[in-house]
Amino acid sequence: MDSLEGKIALVTAANRMHGTGTGIALELARAGADVAVNGRYHPPDDLPRHEREADWRGLESTVERIEMLGRRSLALFGDVSRPEDVRRMFDQLIEHFGRIDILVNSAAQGAPGVKLIEMDVPTWDTVIANTLTSVFLCSCEAARRMIRAGNGGKIVTISSRAGKVGLAGFGAYSAAKFGVSGLTQALAMELAPYRINVNALCVGKILSSTLRRRAERQGVPIAEAIRRLEDENRNEIPLGRLTTPDEIARAVRFLVSSDADYMTGQSINFTGGRIMH
């Protein structure tokens, strides 16, 4: 796989110690890119116990890890569902790095277990804003900057199997992720003349920070939580296991490299075979 040396990337939702966004940011840095990272600010006392015990400090720690790899980084705090935050974030990025070559949309939010017929409008609006509107805002802002620079670019969104198959109890999230697939195709068509590729990666169950936080709340050891989750899903996942942020990160690295220059408008399954259409 080719190097990303000299590329400038932005990864949203890269503030969790074991999160998908953090894993992607570190992988792009290992490939040679300078990486700006976005996330909301959380006071230290609000962080999960396992992060506090590891002296994790959110975006600041992600930046430190990127810099330890010999790459430049920048923490961009903000809510990517708010247009004013997104504009300010990209202004800061361009002022610091001069351009953007790669955007990875990793931010999302669900409302697990809430049936659509029981869901209130504020909850629906929050899920759509954080999972779909955020992708629209960040992708369009990045595309405008890429078009002005005239050097092409790559946009990748972390989507979900919920964007391929509607899931009961995840109705708003499924609607948002199906929307991501349509947005990906429309943007790919509009941005192709500018050599900007737009793709999405539809991932399945992940061994990530969300699982660790859930286990922590339930008082279950993380190893036990992983075993239970894999047992529950083993018969539905042909490869028989969950994926990891590192595996997702390597797939993203391919999609933002020149090896994927002829791929655009795709919502690619990354579910261990659970979804094959």
**Active-site residue list:** 173
CB burial class (10 A; 0-12, 13-18, 19+) of residue 158?
Answer: buried
- Rounded to whole angstroms, the Cα distance separating 207 from 164 reads 20
- Other Cβ atoms less than 10 A from the Cβ of 60: the count is 13
Helix (H) / strand (E) element for 113: namely none
Nearest to 129 by CA among 176, 183, 182, 166: 176
- Rounded to whole angstroms, the Cα distance separating 23 from 167 reads 26
- Phi, psi angle pair for 102, to nearest 5°: -135, 130
Q: Are 265 and 188 in contact (CB under 8 A)?
A: yes
* Lookup: tokens for 215: 């286990």
- Other Cβ atoms less than 10 A from the Cβ of 224: the count is 11
CB burial class (10 A; 0-12, 13-18, 19+) of residue 59?
Answer: buried
- Rounded to whole angstroms, the Cα distance separating 94 from 275 reads 38
Reduce the DSSP state of residue 17 to 3 states and report it: coil
- Rounded to whole angstroms, the Cα distance separating 6 from 99 reads 11
- Other Cβ atoms less than 10 A from the Cβ of 51: the count is 23
* Lookup: tokens for 81: 């569902």
